[in-house]
Structure 1
Amino acid sequence: MMYHKAIVYDYEIREYAMYLDDELIGFARTYQEAELTLDELVYELLSGSYHRAA
């Protein structure tokens, strides 16, 4: 399965918005932090170790 990741700088709040498949996941202070967070999330999704809250 392929996931579409996007990181967009939000000038209003001065943080990086993290998107996974066009869904806002959250914000990070740095681009590197956003990239790492998204990579970890995709890894968890692919490995089956991620459980979404109902």
Structure 2
Amino acid sequence: MDKAKADDVLTCSKCGAKTMLIYIEAGEVQRVVCASCNDLVAYTENLIRILNKS
């Protein structure tokens, strides 16, 4: 897997922080919120996948 480039990192437009919290909503939708200022950064679906070990 390739390492992320600096341009690939999600950055908060309000405070410039790079640490995000992901909240899972109904219907596989996720809210991405800045961990520093709690500003909504993104709202998307199918952002993350949960892998189960079998």
Q: TM-score per shorter chain, which class?
A: 0.3 to 0.5
> TM-score normalized by structure 2?
0.40
> TM-score normalized by structure 1?
0.40
Higher helix share: 1
Between structure 1 and structure 2, the one with the greater Rg is 2
